[in-house]
């Protein structure tokens, strides 16, 4: 009797394992060309409680990255008509989604009766190297993903780029985790598994761990506030020698523009439109590298007939627009969106996009 019971248990266990295997084979991502693999694991199905302290005010909100890696709620990639790509100044995880540049643009577009939405594809830490990585390893994994418009918000992180590194190399610093082969194998198995995938979806939807709390406490130094000075475009022209900087940073400029060319080529091959927007820091264009990269970007886009928005030339900063030396406050993001909006609409009309 005991042997018979053991046999029944063993047979049932085998049937159970076989059933699991069959479900995995037919419903998992083992043979799918759209499987993400291990490389987007840091930027998919994220749900974090965030506490932001700024100017004696506390914001409490949930930061989400959806199943396909974009900031916000889930959506079908085939329905995405426009994306904005950048680093932390695009992702803006340090503020509620409705206060980001992206959502400010969407609000302004709705007021002008445009019925499409720009989707936030920003990844913290990325420069144009990371953006190229997106086109190689992220966007091809999105079934029927074919936006009409790609907006690139670039410059801040590229000023820090180590030019000893190949301009199209995949790097840890680009917001995508590089891992050991054994770790990659395990994570690859997880990403392909039907059951593991569904468990992650359920966890994001219903569960919020205390271990996922992110806290931001922004405050500029008293000296930075008291002695605040914003170097706008006209002032930058007075303090920077353009020809000297072009020579000094010849390699950096060349590599930057090569990456811009690669990104634009990715977009044009998809019969879509690209727009490149340059950036400013807390002190405007006092940084000579950022200034000359912005200047070179505009020159290049004019030469190649590529759409661009010269935010650096139009924007005039105030101390209340910045959390720190790079990241914008709610007010800063709102003003940037308003500054961009006029040129954005002109390009949309010119290209007859929507």
Same domain, 109 and 2: no
Q: Are residues 10 and 123 in the same domain?
A: no
Instruction: State the pLDDT at residue 161.
Output: 72
Confidence of residue 160 (pLDDT cuts 50, 70, 90): confident
Residues 6+ apart with CB under 8 A from 106: 117, 118
In a domain, 262, yes or no: yes
Position 186 in a domain: yes
pLDDT, position 10 = 64
State the pLDDT at residue 169: 46
Q: Which residue has the tokens 């190229």?
A: 132
Q: What is the pLDDT of residue 172?
A: 47
Whether residues 268 and 190 fall in one domain: yes
Q: What's the mean pLDDT in 152-159?
A: 95
Q: How confident is the model at residue 163 (pLDDT cuts 50, 70, 90)?
A: low
Point out the least confidently predicted range of 51-65, 212-226, 248-262. Answer: 212-226
pLDDT at 177 over 60: no
Over residues 9-48, the pLDDT tens digits come to 666 667 666 666 666 566 666 666 777 776 777 788 888 8
Task: Give me the mean pLDDT over the 280-299 stretch.
Answer: 97
Does 225 score more than 90 pLDDT?
A: no
Asked if the structure places residue 230 within a domain, the reply is yes
Residue 71 covered by a domain: yes
Answer whether residue 184 is part of any domain: yes
**Residue 194 — pLDDT band, cuts 50, 70, 90?**
low
The whole-chain average pLDDT of the chain stands at 85
Looking at the structure, tell me whether residues 25 and 67 fall in a common domain: no
Q: How many domains does the chain have?
A: 2
Cα four-point dihedral sign 49, 52, 57, 62: negative
**10 & 45 share domain:** no
Q: Are residues 226 and 86 in the same domain?
A: yes
pLDDT bucket at 322, cuts 50 / 70 / 90: very high
Q: If we measure between CA atoms, which residue out of 352, 167, 345 comes closest to residue 271?
A: 352
Looking at the structure, do residues 174 and 273 belong to the same domain, yes or no?
A: yes
Percent of the chain's residues with pLDDT above 70: 76
Give 274's contacts (C-beta < 8 A, 6+ positions apart). 149, 150, 151, 152, 263, 264, 267, 268, 306, 307
| 27 and 100 housed in the same domain | no
Residue 36 lies in a domain: no
In this structure, are 131 and 193 located in the same domain? yes
- The residue ranking higher by pLDDT, 218 or 347, is 347
Q: Is 5 exposed, middle or buried (0-12, 13-18, 19+ CB in 10 A)?
A: exposed
Whether residue 243 lies inside any domain: the answer is yes
For residues 7 and 112, membership in a common domain is answered with: no
State how far the Cα of 201 lies from the Cα of 140, in Å rounded to an integer: 21
CATH number of the domain where residue 52 is located: 3.40.50.1110
Do 284 and 332 lie in one domain? The reply is yes
pLDDT band, very low/low/confident/very high, at 315 (cuts 50, 70, 90): very high
Distance in angstroms (rounded) separating the CA atoms of residues 222 and 228: 10
Pair of tokens at residue 56: 């004696």
CA pair distance 2, 138, nearest whole angstrom = 54
pLDDT beyond 80 at 165: no
Which range of residues forms the domain containing residue 92? 41-351
Mean pLDDT of 241-258: 96
User: What is the distance between the alpha carbons of residues 78 and 73, in angstroms, rounded to a whole number?
Assistant: 15
Tens of pLDDT, residues 86-110 = 999 999 999 999 999 999 999 999 9
Flag whether 208 is in a domain: yes
Same domain, 115 and 238: yes
């Amino acid at each position: 009797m005991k042997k018979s019971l053991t046999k029944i248990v063993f047979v049932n266990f085998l049937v159970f394992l076989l059933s699991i295997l069959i479900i995995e084979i037919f419903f998992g991502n083992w043979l799918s060309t759209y499987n993400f693999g291990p490389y987007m694991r840091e930027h998919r199905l994220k749900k974090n409680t965030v506490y932001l302290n700024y100017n004696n005010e506390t914001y409490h909100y949930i930061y989400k990255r959806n199943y396909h890696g974009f900031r916000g709620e889930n959506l079908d990639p085939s329905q995405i008509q426009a994306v904005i790509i950048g680093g932390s100044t695009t992702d803006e995880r340090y503020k509620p989604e409705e206060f980001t540049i992206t959502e400010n643009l969407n609000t302004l577009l709705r007021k002008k009766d445009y019925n499409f939405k720009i989707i936030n594809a920003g990844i913290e830490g990325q420069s144009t190297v990371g953006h190229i990585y997106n086109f190689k390893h992220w966007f091809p994994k999105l079934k029927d993903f074919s936006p009409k418009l790609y907006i690139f918000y670039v410059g801040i992180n590229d000023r820090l780029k180590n030019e000893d590194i190949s301009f199209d190399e995949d790097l840890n610093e680009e917001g995508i985790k590089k891992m050991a082969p054994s770790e990659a194998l395990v994570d690859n198995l997880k990403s392909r598994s039907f059951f593991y995938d569904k468990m992650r979806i359920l966890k994001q939807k219903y569960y919020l761990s205390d271990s996922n709390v992110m806290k931001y406490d922004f405050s500029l130094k008293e000296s930075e506030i008291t002695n605040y000075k914003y170097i706008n475009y006209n002032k930058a022209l007075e303090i920077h020698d353009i020809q000297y900087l072009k020579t000094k940073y010849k390699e950096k400029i060349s590599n930057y523009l090569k990456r811009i060319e690669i990104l634009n080529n990715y977009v044009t091959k998809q019969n879509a439109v690209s727009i490149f927007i340059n950036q400013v820091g807390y002190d405007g264009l006092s940084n000579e590298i950022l200034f000359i990269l912005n200047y070179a970007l505009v020159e290049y886009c004019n030469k190649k007939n590529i759409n661009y928005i010269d935010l650096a030339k139009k924007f005039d900063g105030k101390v209340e627009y910045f959390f720190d030396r790079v990241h914008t406050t709610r007010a800063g993001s709102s003003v940037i969106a308003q500054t961009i909006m006029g040129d954005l609409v002109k390009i949309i009309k010119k290209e007859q996009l929507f």
